[in-house]
Structure 1
């Protein structure tokens, strides 16, 4: 009877533990290709008086490499195709693609290349890198949180803030915020 109760208690304790808590760095080590179908790159821009702009990019590609012996040597490379921007409003999407914002005719890609990865907890890291948009490059920081590892698939929740004026996209300020909030789910397949 006591063995059965202890067994049930141990099983319940395992269920209560987050999935990622059991992931060791050595288990996550390797190279991953970001799967756009299982990932999302969303953004929001606030507006004075409320509201604002919410959108997402439908096309992007990238890789994640996790170094087992030195997390600092891990790397993230991401390419976003801004012509794939979507807000649910065709007029706004066309404006965002124009030379007033993304200038997709002359700048078809936005690129992020990490320069450092610093582990901040068992499941989080601060990823610093070079973001290039419209021919301008600046250092940016993003927080990545491990969401799980299962069957060769890894998932991260990534957040960060970027000042759009640095990249020549400050049209509409100060009515629309200069700060772009990114909220991403990046899912990668090992291999």
Structure 2
């Protein structure tokens, strides 16, 4: 499944741009620094189902950092870890299935990791984050889009979206009834060091 970690990187790239909370747009120098991903972040996902319905949920435990380079956004770095054991859907049966060997195999792969390799500013307050996602022993390149939604001298927030093909990570159970694409919709909040 595609991870939401990449989106954190995009958020960093977005910091370069304007912020409505400020009288003037922040400069790269203003927003530059190291941020810890805060527990108030929301990592949500959904998988569509033929005929409607589907599965939606979130992850309760994650950690990470991003470093925003004030001189060159391309040198910024995002690192994110997600703990799939904490998946929450509101349905214990589905959660147990998602933790099983058919999907996350949390007993053998307790962590999903994303590390950015490239951040590209795509607009005044948007960026694309590309990086290596490792899940269930497989590493693939994934991309997320990020939009800066809040910034001040201590706190930054991004809205990050992206879709991941789950069969690339040996998580193809339920195909084709359930979509191969896992859609991520994340709010990533960072606290500056």
- TM-score with structure 1 setting the length: 0.88
Per the alignment, residue 182 of structure 1 pairs with 184
Q: Distance in 2 between matches of 1:189 and 1:80?
A: 18
Q: Distance in 1 between matches of 2:97 and 2:21?
A: 42
Q: CA deviation at 1:112?
A: 0.3
| Larger RCO (CA within 8 A; separation ≥ 6) | 2
Per the alignment, residue 5 of structure 1 pairs with none
Whether contact under 8 Å (1:79, 1:110) holds in the other structure is yes
| Residues 1:27 and 2:30 are matched in the alignment | yes
- Residue deviations 1:142-174, cap 9 Å, x none? 011111112401001110000000000010010
* Structure 1 consecutive aligned stretches of length 4 or more whose deviation exceeds 6 Å: none
In structure 1, the gaps of 5 or more residues are: 1-16
Q: CA deviation at 1:27?
A: 1.4
Number of residue equivalences:
174
Per the alignment, residue 153 of structure 1 pairs with 155
Whether contact under 8 Å (1:81, 1:108) holds in the other structure is yes
- TM-score with structure 2 setting the length: 0.87
Whether contact under 8 Å (2:31, 2:153) holds in the other structure is no
Larger Rg: 1
Q: Name the structure with the higher helix share.
A: 1
Q: CA deviation at 1:124?
A: 0.7
For the aligned residue pairs, the C-alpha RMSD in angstroms reads 1.2
Per the alignment, residue 69 of structure 1 pairs with 71
Whether contact under 8 Å (1:23, 1:148) holds in the other structure is no
Per the alignment, residue 39 of structure 1 pairs with 41
Per the alignment, residue 50 of structure 2 pairs with 48
Partner-residue secondary structure (3-state), 1:147: strand
Per the alignment, residue 10 of structure 2 pairs with none
Partner-residue secondary structure (3-state), 1:22: coil
